[in-house]
């Protein structure tokens, strides 16, 4: 679950991580005249998408008149399809230097990964591509943790301001504790700034692992404040792992790894996935039917790719689900199906006996992605 900036900063306060004084509002009437904040103030749209500054979703107000104007301008704004329903209003900082830091899990290394750069304020992908030497990567064994000497070494290699070494070590250590103690998938601060008041986390990007929800009561509180698309609510009610994306090729697969690989292959053929939809292992006919029903609620889907590699999942049951969901219906989009693994022969026979002109069968993931992308153009 991806948190809003203000929610991430609530966690900062829990771990005593310095961040500007602020307040969150959902309407102008919620801003008290004695709000206790000192101008200049930064008015920040709370949306779960990048580029809000370029879209006009971040403004600096120097007085009450500007503050009221910017609140009117930004509340209700559409930023890349995300409606601004809340604003974070915080005291502006006098910035001396901007840095980047993040913690995540590198599954291939089976370790946590800290990334640190002196090029804060920029997209980290741009830094990695154009200035790779300015991005320091430090792997952390979960059984050992992150020690001050390791942080000092990373700060030195990243060429951060050594005058603030002790503060940086303290804040970075607290960010790591936040990452681990809250079972986070990601903690990213861009920028982590040197200000006139010292080191401060000026932004917040936090993603929580909802598999650990049972250990954290506050997860439910955060989730209630995050708008969830109707399709995701419907998918959750059906027990499906669904995430809405911004492409046009609907993806259905079994297993997170296979679905992620399918998304990548679609991109390789010039397409873009409309969603991540994992029906899981052991999926039965009704599961596949439910998955197709979820995609029917998505207006952006132009074609559908069903990619199944049967292990526990039986391809014949998947095929039965496809037939059940599509028989006698006028399909909204063409469907490309790739079945391989357990009972794939039987599954293909079921589809052959119940032919539908809008359903194409493919023998490989690469070919299926190519067909699906072309069908959705």
Domain ranges of the chain: 21-91, 95-215, 230-375
Tell me the per-residue pLDDT of 45-93, one tens digit each, with 9 for 90 and over.
999 888 898 899 999 999 999 999 999 999 999 998 789 999 999 999 9
Catalytic residue status for 100: yes
The reply to whether 21-91 and 230-375 are identical in fold is: no
Q: Taking residues 312-325, what's their average pLDDT?
A: 91
The C-alpha atoms of residue 254 and residue 24 are separated, in whole angstroms, by 40
Residue 241 predicted with pLDDT over 80: yes
Is the Cβ–Cβ distance between 353 and 327 less than 8 Å? no
Q: Please name the fold of domain 230-375.
A: Rossmann fold (3.40.50)
Whole-prediction pTM: 0.73
The C-alpha atoms of residue 161 and residue 9 are separated, in whole angstroms, by 24
Residue 165 predicted with pLDDT over 90: yes
The per-residue pLDDT for 193 is 97
pLDDT band at 360 (very low <50, low <70, confident <90, very high): very high
Q: In the chain, which ranges are continuous DSSP H helix?
A: 5-14, 64-74, 124-130, 148-157, 165-181, 218-224, 230-237, 256-268, 285-296, 315-326, 344-353, 365-375
In CATH, the number for domain 21-91 is 3.30.1490.20
Residue 281 predicted with pLDDT over 80: no
Report which of 265, 260, 288, 276 is spatially closest to residue 371, judged by C-alpha positions.
265
| b/e per residue 62-80 (b: at least 16 CB within 10 A) | eeeebbeebbeebbebebe
The per-residue pLDDT for 283 is 77
Residue 133 DSSP one-character state? G
The per-residue pLDDT for 93 is 96
The per-residue pLDDT for 224 is 87
The β-bridge partners of 116 are 101, 136
The per-residue pLDDT for 232 is 82
The per-residue pLDDT for 328 is 84
The C-alpha atoms of residue 287 and residue 293 are separated, in whole angstroms, by 10
Tell me the per-residue pLDDT of 88-124, one tens digit each, with 9 for 90 and over.
999 999 999 999 999 999 988 999 999 999 988 777 7
For the chain, give the mean pLDDT.
Answer: 92
The per-residue pLDDT for 358 is 92
The per-residue pLDDT for 233 is 81
The C-alpha atoms of residue 268 and residue 58 are separated, in whole angstroms, by 34
Residue 330 predicted with pLDDT over 90: no
- With a pLDDT cut of 70, the percent of the chain lying above it is 100
- Most confident range, picked from 127-131, 135-139, 209-213: 135-139
The C-alpha atoms of residue 48 and residue 229 are separated, in whole angstroms, by 13
CATH superfamily of 95-215: ATP-grasp fold, B domain (3.30.470.20)
> What tokens does 230 get?
């109707």
DSSP reduced 3-state for 124 = helix
Backbone torsions φ then ψ of 47, nearest 5 degrees: -135, 150
> What tokens does 209 get?
């692992």
Q: Which residue is catalytic, options 5, 10, 98, 188? A: 188
Could you identify the residue written with the tokens 């153009």?
A: 377
DSSP of 47-79: -SSS-TTTTT-EEEESSHHHHHHHHHHHTT-EE
Ranges 120-134, 191-205, 302-316, 355-369: which has the least confidence: 120-134
The C-alpha atoms of residue 364 and residue 362 are separated, in whole angstroms, by 6
Distances in Å between the Cα of 181 and the Cα atoms of 72, 145, 296 are: 38, 12, 39
> What tokens does 334 get?
């063409």
Q: Which residue is catalytic, options 6, 99, 100, 176? A: 100
Tell me the per-residue pLDDT of 319-328, one tens digit each, with 9 for 90 and over.
999 998 898 8
């Amino acid at each position: 679950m991806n948190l809003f900036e203000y929610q991430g900063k609530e966690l900062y306060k829990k771990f005593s991580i310095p961040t500007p004084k602020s307040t969150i509002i959902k309407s102008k009437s919620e801003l008290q005249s004695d709000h206790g904040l000192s101008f200049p103030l930064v008015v920040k749209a709370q949306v779960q998408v990048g580029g809000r500054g370029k879209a006009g979703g971040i403004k600096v107000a120097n007085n009450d008149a500007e503050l009221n104007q910017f609140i009117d301008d930004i509340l209700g704004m559409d930023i890349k399809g995300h409606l601004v329903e809340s604003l974070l209003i915080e005291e502006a900082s006098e910035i001396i230097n901007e840095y980047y830091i993040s913690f995540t899990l590198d599954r291939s290394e089976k370790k946590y990964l800290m990334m640190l750069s002196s090029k804060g304020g920029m997209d980290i992908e741009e830094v990695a591509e154009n200035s790779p030497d300015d991005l320091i990567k430090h792997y952390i064994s979960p059984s050992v943790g992150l020690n001050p000497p390791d942080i000092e070494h990373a700060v030195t290699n990243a060429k951060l301001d050594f005058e603030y070494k002790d503060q940086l070590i303290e804040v970075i250590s607290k960010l790591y504790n936040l990452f681990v103690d809250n079972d986070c998938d990601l903690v990213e601060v861009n920028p982590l700034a040197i200000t006139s008041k010292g080191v401060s986390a000026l932004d917040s990007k936090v993603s929580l692992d909802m598999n650990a929800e049972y250990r954290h009561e506050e997860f439910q509180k955060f989730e209630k404040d995050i708008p969830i698309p109707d399709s995701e609510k419907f998918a959750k009610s059906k027990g499906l792992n669904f995430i809405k994306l911004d492409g046009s090729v609907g993806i259905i697969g079994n297993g997170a790894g296979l679905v992620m690989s399918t998304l990548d292959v679609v991109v390789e053929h010039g397409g873009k996935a409309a969603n991540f939809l994992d029906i899981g292992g052991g999926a039965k006919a009704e599961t596949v039917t439910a998955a197709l029903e979820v995609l029917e609620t998505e207006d952006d889907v132009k074609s559908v790719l069903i990619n199944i590699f049967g292990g526990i999942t039986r391809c014949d049951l998947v095929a039965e689900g496809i037939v059940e969901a599509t028989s006698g219906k006028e399909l909204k989009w063409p469907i490309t199906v790739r079945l391989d693994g357990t009972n794939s022969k039987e599954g293909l026979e079921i589809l052959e006996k119940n032919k539908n002109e809008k359903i194409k069968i493919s023998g490989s993931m690469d070919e299926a992605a190519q067909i699906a992308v072309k069908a959705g153009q």
